[in-house]
Amino acid sequence: MLTPVLALVCWTLIVWIWMYATRIPAMQKANIDPQSAIHPGSLSGLPQAARVVADNYNHLHEQPTIFYALALYAHLAGAGDAINIGLAWAYVGVRIVHSLVQIIVRRVTLRFSVFATGSVILMAIAVRCVLAL
């Protein structure tokens, strides 16, 4: 159960690098003083390509926290069976797809479908953990 957690952490760090690889050059091109970034709204003048990566990085700190808690619980409670491990890997895959859809494809309805799929996977892991009590 813990290896998928590590994989999602690594993906989050990749998106962090991607975010700064797009944000810093965009800020330089727009002549935005880094100090003005003290308030997140001040970066609204950045191109969409730079903003969507930062948005996704933030999203990787929202719903995945539920995944991390569930994976840790399943591991510690002995509910890390093959099905839950498969669901955990499926969730990681869905989150990577979610990132790519948000950053590259930029189709909100598709992104929502991917997000909803991830939510259903989390619900399945949660239900299986409850049933394992």
Residue 17, pLDDT above cutoff 70: yes
Q: Which domains does the chain have, with CATH numbers?
A: 2-131 (1.20.120)
Cβ(103)–Cβ(113) below 8 Å: no
Residue 40 banded pLDDT, cuts 50, 70, 90: low
Assess contact for 37 and 124: CB atoms under 8 A. Answer: no
* Token digits of residue 31: 């002549």
Residues 105 and 85: their CA atoms lie apart, in Å, by 29
pLDDT tens track for 77-104: 999 999 999 999 999 999 999 999 999 9
- Ranges of beta strands (E only) in 1-133 are none
**CB under 8 Å to 54, separation ≥6 — which residues?**
19, 23, 43
Average pLDDT of the segment spanning 109-114? 98
Overall average pLDDT of the 39-48 stretch: 78
CA atoms of 54 and 65, how far apart (whole Å): 17
The 10 Å Cβ neighbour count of residue 92 is 24
